[in-house]
Each structure stands twice: as C-alpha cells, then as structure tokens.
Structure 1
C-alpha cells in the first residue's frame, strides 16, 4: 500500500460535510471572546483560564434543538464550573500528585455523567483540561469564589448564546437524533463498552500524568488530555487510533504556528484576536477533520495560557509536543490492548 493510500485509509485527509459549522463557530467565538475581554479590561488576566473553561460550555449541543441544547448546556455549564473550582481548590492545597489524582477522578466522573446525560460531545476531555489546567498554577483560597463566579458567568453567557439562534430563521437547527431516555446507575454500568471506556478514562490520564510528572514535565495535564482525547471518537480501535494520530500531527503543525506567533511577543489585544481566530477555525473543522482542528486548538490553548501566565515560547511548545505524543501513545496502547481478541481454551 502506498503512503498516500495509507494516509487516506486512516482518514488523515478526509473532509466531512460542513453541516452549518459556522453557527457553532460564531457562538464559540462570542462565548470565549466576551468574558475574556471583560476580565482583561478589568486588569485580571489571571482569570482568563476560568473564563475560557466556562465558555467551553458553548461546545455542547451544537446540533441539538433549542430545548435539548438548553438542558444540556445548563448541566454541562454547572459541571464545567465545578471542574474549574475543583482545580483551583487543588492548586490552593498544592502538590502534583493531588492534581493528577483529582484530574483522573474528574475524568472518570465526567465520562459517566456525559454518557448518562447523553451529552454531545461525549467523553471527559473538557473536564480533564479544566481540572488539570486550573490545578497546575499556584492559587490561594481567595481565588476559589472568583473562579466559580467567572466560570459560571461565562457558562451562562454560552447558554444564552446557544438560544439566540431562535431570533433568526437562518440560525434555526434540527435535532439529529431522537431523544434518549436516561438510564439508572445499574443500567448505565451494564451498557456496552461502559466499563472498558471508564477504565481507559481513568487509567489513561493517571498513567500519562504520572509519567509526564516523573519526566519533569511542567504541564502533566497536557499528556492527560491527550490520553483521553481519542475516547471521544465512536467505539472501535480504528476510529480511536485515527483520532490519536490526528491529534499528534495536528499538534506538530500547531506548535510550529504557536512558536512563530509567541516568539514575536504579541500584545494582549493581538493575542486575544489570534486566539479567537483559532477558536473559529477549530470549530469550523472539528467535525470535518479532527487533525485540521487540532492545528488551531494547539495555538488557541497556548495563546490563552500566554494571556494568563507568560512563559518561554520554545520550552512551552516543545513540551506541548512531547506531552501530547506521550499521552497519545498511552491512549493507543490502551485502545489496542482493549481491542485484542480474547482466546478461549478448547481443551
């Protein structure tokens, strides 16, 4: 098989239908841009991470009818605010082992809640990102109520923007799937693939975070995020390994862009504008080709971090690539291990 055929076979060049992604991109840009602009105008760049993670709420229910989106974003918004607050509490207590443990626990809980509530997108990536990032920077207890208020405010704005399309005929959407009945706890755990995915959602980030921390990484949560990202794909080793490959090659290109941008030491306004452009690009392509989206997601994450805490561009981008590759490798290992056929004795 030729190299080109291999690339196509793994979906690296596939471009799925647009499906009105511009509406989701517009909501995401406004959801992030407005609260981040407010905290920056107030001179509180240290609160940008909290605003950003609350704004992640806009990413839920992009194809749902308004009633379903309202329910989903109300629930996910509260959950994201809780994740941000947990991360800040862990940071106030201090300690990398505690941060890894809390992020791992959040990953398992988020997976179960998302599966039970039928959130879209599924999985625990956003929870891992929020708890991991917020627990990685030193905080004091006075920041806890601020983190809760800012993340809740941003999440609430995302809910309002998620309903704003009702004002415009062109912005109206359709339900892509029928409503699903929520299961009892026992029924949830008996669901197909739930136990295996739950194990992957806890073992993956725990291993990735521990290895990254032991290697001296300053941001072990980057490896933890990369370890759970493939699990947002449909079940099946091929789908999930493909997503892991997309994350690695997308990050590789994204860090080059990030290094070029951050090396110019952009001002606050420029950094925010570039981050919002990256947010728009990511939302336009995340459902079409994940690798293309990650090319933008990487500078988005690094630019938002730059707004909150300045760091050395070369060291930051190098570590981002290293820890992403580490997390992806651990995820692929667990995926392939879970997908191995079980042989039974005929003796």
Structure 2
C-alpha cells in the first residue's frame, strides 16, 4: 500500500508542468554553461574536426557544477569535476579502442558507482554520477583508435580548463555576482560516506542500473545502449524514492517532447553553424529550468544531446530519435524498479 501511494504521488507530481521553483539567478548559470560548452565545440568544428565535438563538450561539463557557489568553492568543485570528466572521457575512448559492448557496460557501471561516491564525499552540486556516466558511455560507443586517446585527453582537458576560467570570470563583473546561501562543503569521513541511511541501496542502484539497462538495450539491438544506462542513473539524485520516481516521470515526458522538437529541427537539415547555435540555445534552456522544473529542462536536454550527436556522427534523425525515446524509457523503467526495491524501510 505504501509503495502504491508513493508511486501515485510521484506520477501526480510529474504532471505539474506549470509549477516552477524560484529563478535564483539561473540566467548566470545558463550563460556560463553556453560559453563553456559552446566555445570549445565551435573551435573543433571550425578546424573541421566534428569528431572531437563530444570530447570538447564533455570536458566542459564541469561548468554544470557549483552553479550557486561563491568563487572559491566553485573553483575547487569545477576543477575536481573537470578532472573527473577528463578521466571519464579518456576512459571511454580507451574502452572504445579495446572494443566490446560488455566492457563498455562494465566500465560505465564502475564509473556510475565511483562517481556517486566521489560526488557524495566531496559534496558536489549536483550530486550523483549522471555526467561521468554520460561521458564514458558516449565516448565508448563510437569506434576509436589508440591514437585518439591522447587527442581526447588533450581536447577534454582544454575544454575543462576553459570552463574553470569562465566560472571565475564573474569576478570581472560585480553585477553578475551573487551570495552563496549554502555553507562551504565539508569532506565526509568514511563512516559518514558509507554509514548514512540509504547509501547501500544507492550503491546497488548505481551499480545495477547501468548493467541491467545496458544489457537489455544491447541484447535488443539498440544502437545507443548508453542512453539506457544514463537514464537508469538520472533519477537517482532525488532526495527520496518519491522524488526519484517523479524525476523519472519528468524525464520520460520531457524526452518525448524533446524528441518531437528535435525531429522538427533536423527535418530542415540545418548546417553546422545553425545546428550548433540551436544546440546551445537548448543548453541555455536546460540550465534555466533544471533546478525549477526537471521535465521542462529535459525538453531542452534532449535536442542538445541529439544535435551534438548529429554534429559528431551523421545519422538518420528518425531512427536516432526513436532510439533515444525507447532506450530512455527502458532505462527509466529499470531505475523505477530499483528505486522501489532499494528504498529505505521504515523502522519501529
């Protein structure tokens, strides 16, 4: 009965489309993200190396951390997150060079658990391992040679370093500063890290989610199993099982709307520059709403992912978009089952 009521509340909450949380200076976070991701990607495209766009964009994903932190905390968190993104991009390319779907699934699951523990220990915001899972899964999904490994490392490192500089650039513009309403993050002890309620269940979900979702997607012949793996961990950042199921519901309807929007955009077969501009607008949309209404944010996240994919590897838009929707639904179904199975039980 408790599970049924919890799930029902989650589904109802998922359809609160018009409910937005406070803006809270989201425009500054969106601007930093657009500059941090857009500039490195524009550079590699200008050099005629669209194949490096994924490395550049994932390297700059450290710009998505510490959106509400003061400059000192932001510098530390984005530097640490940047190192993590560089490592996961490089690991993904190494896995791709070795080859093998099952190795990619195993590597993604390991990054999922490691990223969760690292973000929890370091008190990163946002928490969880969504971005490193996305990076290693995407980079491992495309065939790569060993010669690409140092290139991926260099490109992602340059993008991450640039994002750190952008994160500190607000010091030059006092109007863009805002106070941090949260205390500085304090590293957790081993007992605090592993002994908190729900951590063991989280570890199971972060480990099993990518393995189960990736295995099913690969066995079914999905072209992008990592999309299922990403969706299996995406809802796990919620503070409770109810919030996590609601987040999963938000992601599925947001993805469906985003897929339709992506198909409309790609039906016009835009060139490289218009595609990049639209992708960056989608990035801005996602950052403007990600802390206010997750479903609305995903409407932008989906075209961003599909358009960046299109820039890196040309493919049939309808097939790719359909695969995105199906594998997202698969990953979220796995996530919901794991969330309900691993939720903390009431005692007493």
Does residue 174 (structure 1) correspond to residue 179 (structure 2)? The answer is yes
Q: Note the alpha carbon deviations across 1:50-109, whole angstroms, 9 max, x for none.
A: 000011110000000100000000000001000000000000000100001001100000
Report the CA distance between 1:205 and its aligned residue. Answer: 1.0
Q: Is the 8 A contact 1:84 1:147 kept in 2?
A: yes
- Which structure 1 segments of 5+ residues have no match? none
Tell me the residue number matched to 2:33.
Answer: 28
1:78–1:340 CA distance, 2 compared to 1 (3 A): closer
The 2-side partners of 1:60 and 1:161 are apart by 12
Corresponding residue for residue 253 of structure 2: 249
Please give the per-residue CA displacement for 1:190-233, whole angstroms capped at 9, x wherever unaligned: 12322211111111111000010011001001001111010122
**Structure-1 residue corresponding to 2:296:** 292
- Residue 239 of structure 1 aligns with which residue? 243
Cα deviation, residue 341, structure 1:
4.2
Out of 31, 37, 43, the residue aligned to residue 42 of structure 2 is: 37
1:189-204 equivalent positions in 2, closer than 5 A: 189-204=194-209
Select which of 14, 23, 28 maps to 1:18. 23
Q: Aligned residue pairs: how many?
A: 340
Aligned to 1:311: 315
What CA distance in whole angstroms lies between the structure 2 residues aligned with 1:112 and 1:9?
A: 28
Partner Cα separation in structure 2 for residue 28 and residue 207 of structure 1: 32
Match of 2:218 in 1: 213
Question: Which residue is 1:85 aligned to?
Answer: 90
SS of aligned partner of 2:283 = helix
Quick check: 2:14–2:250 contact (8 Å CA) kept in 1? no
- The runs of 5 or more residues in structure 2 that have no matched partner are 1-7
User: CA separation in 2, counterparts of 1:297 and 1:131?
Assistant: 18
Residue 30 of structure 2 contacts residue 283 of structure 2 at CA under 8 Å; is this kept in 1? yes
Query: What's the CA shift for 1:12?
Result: 4.0
2:32 and 2:63 in contact (8 A); partners too = yes
**Please, which moves more after superposition, 20-29 or 162-171?**
162-171
| Residue matched to 2:129 | 124
How far does the alpha carbon of each residue in 1:295-341 deviate from its partner, in whole angstroms, 9 at most, with x for none? 01000000001000000111100010000001111111111112374
Taking the TM superposition and a 5 Å limit, the aligned residue runs for 1:1-150 are 7=12, 11-150=16-155
- 1:10 positional shift: 5.6
1:185 deviates by 2.8
The CA distance in 1 between the partners of 2:281 and 2:64, in whole Å, is: 16
* Closer, same or farther: CA 96–8 of 1 in aligned 2, 3 Å: closer
For residues 233-255 of structure 1, the C-alpha deviation after alignment (integer angstroms, 9 at most, x for no partner) is 22x11100010000000000000
TM-score (structure 2 length as normaliser): 0.94
Secondary structure in 1 matching 2:69:
coil
Aligned counterpart, 1:153: 158
Give per-residue Cα distances to partners, 1:146-185, cap 9 Å, x unaligned. 1001101111111011111111111112222112321233
Range with greater deviation from structure 2 (255-264 or 15-24): 255-264
Cα distance in 2 for residues equivalent to 1:148 and 1:257: 33
Encode CA deviations 1:4-61: one digit per residue, 9 max, x unaligned: x974576443210000100000000001111001001111110000000011110000
Distance 2:14 2:319 in 1: 34
> Is the CA contact 2:198–2:344 (under 8 Å) kept in the aligned structure 1?
no
Alpha-carbon distance between aligned partners in 1 of 2:14 and 2:129, rounded to the nearest angstrom: 27
**C-alpha distance after superposition, 1:132-154 (max 9, x if no partner):** 00000000000000100110111
Structure 1 Cα separation of the partners of residues 326 and 101 of structure 2: 19
